[in-house]
A and B are shown apart, each in its own frame.
Chain A
Amino acid sequence: MSTLVLMAHRDGHIIGSSARLISAALQLGGEVDVLVIGHQMAGCAREAAALAGVNKVLVADDARYAGDIAEPAAALLAEQAKPYTHVLASASCYGKDVLPRAAALLGVSQVSEIIEVIDEATFKRPVHAGSLIATVRVDAPKKVISVRSTAFEPVGEQPEAECIALDPYGETLGVQLEGEELNRSGRPELMGARVVVSGGRGVGSRENFALVEALADKLEAAVGASRAAVDAGYVPNDFQVGQTGKVVAPDLYIAVGISGAMQHLAGMQGAKVVVAINRDADAPIFANADYGLVGDLFELLPELTAKL
Chain B
Amino acid sequence: MKIIVPVKRVIDHAVRVRPSADGRSVEAASATMAINPFCEIALEEAVRLKEQGIASEVVVVSIGEPAAQEQLKAALAVGADRALLITTEKALEPLAVAQVLAHVVAEEGAELALLGKQAIDSDDNQTGQMLAALLGWPQATFASKVVINEGRATVTREVDGGLRTLSMPLPAVITTDLRLNEPRYARLPDIMKARKKPIDQRELSALGLELSSQVELLAIEEPQPRQAGMMVESVDELLEQLKNIDKVIL
By a beta-carbon cutoff of 8 Å, the part of chain A in contact with chain B is: 8, 10, 15, 67-71, 74, 92-94, 96-105, 107-113, 122, 126-140, 172-183, 189, 191, 195, 219, 227, 231, 236-238, 243-244, 246, 251-252, 269, 272-275, 286-294, 300, 303-304, 307-308
Binding site for A on B (CB under 8 A): 11, 13, 16-19, 26, 93-95, 98, 118, 120-127, 129-134, 136-139, 141-142, 144, 154, 157-169, 177-179, 212, 214-223, 226-236, 238-239, 241-242, 246, 248-249
| The 10 A-B residue pairs with the shortest CB-CB distance in the complex, in nearest-first order | A104-B133, A104-B130, A100-B129, A100-B126, A182-B162, A290-B229, A140-B214, A135-B219, A252-B248, A178-B165
Which of B94, B212, B249 gathers the greatest number of chain A CB atoms within 10 Å? B249
Q: Do A131 and B232 form a contact, CB below 8 Å, given A103-B130, A110-B94, A182-B161?
A: no
Q: Which residues of A contact B219 (CB under 8 A)?
A: 134-135
B154 touches A243 (CB 8 A): no
Q: Could you say which residues of chain B place their CB within 8 Å of the CB of A104?
A: 95, 98, 129-131, 133-134
Point out the residue from B16, B160, B216, B238 that lies within 8 Å of A93, measured CB to CB. B160
| Cβ contact within 8 Å between B167 and A175 | yes
Set of chain A residues within 8 Å of B138, measured between Cβ atoms: 71, 172-175
Instruction: Evaluate whether A103 and B95 lie within 8 angstroms (CB atoms) in the complex, with A127-B123, A132-B19, A180-B163 already known.
Output: yes
Contacts A174-B138, A176-B168: A237 and B158 contacting too (C-beta < 8 A)? yes
* Contacting residues, chain A, for B165 (C-beta < 8 A): 177-180
Q: Which residues of A contact B216 (CB under 8 A)?
A: 136-139
Taking the closest CB of chain B, its distance from the CB of A183, in whole angstroms, is 5
CB atoms of A132 and B94 under 8 A apart: no
A sample of 8 more A-B contacts (CB under 8 A), given A291-B231, A304-B235, is A10-B160, A97-B142, A104-B98, A104-B129, A109-B94, A140-B215, A174-B168, A293-B231
Name the residue on B nearest A69 (C-beta).
B166
Q: Looking at the complex, which one of A93, A138, A289, A303 makes contact with B159 (CB distance below 8 Å)?
A: A93
Quick one: closest A residue to B246, CB to CB? A273
Which residue from A110, A132, A173, A219 sits with its C-beta under 8 Å from B222?
Answer: A132
Pick from B11, B122, B212, B215: contact of A107, CB below 8 A. B212
CA A308 – CA B133 in complex, angstroms? 51
Question: Distance (Å) between the CB of A115 and the closest chain B CB?
Answer: 9
Verify A307–B121 contact, CB threshold 8 A: no
Among residues of B, the one whose C-beta sits closest to the C-beta of A102 is B133
> Which residues of chain B are within 8 angstroms of A131 by Cβ–Cβ distance?
16-17, 222-223
A291 touches B159 (CB 8 A): no
Checking A10, A178, A251, A291 against B232 with a beta-carbon cut-off of 8 angstroms, the contacting residue is: A291
Q: With the chains together, A219 CA to B168 CA distance in Å?
A: 42
User: What are 25 A-to-B residue pairs whose CB atoms are below 8 Å?
Assistant: A70-B129, A93-B157, A96-B141, A98-B129, A100-B126, A100-B133, A103-B95, A104-B95, A105-B133, A109-B214, A128-B121, A132-B19, A132-B26, A132-B221, A136-B216, A139-B214, A173-B168, A174-B168, A181-B163, A182-B163, A189-B160, A274-B229, A292-B229, A293-B231, A303-B235
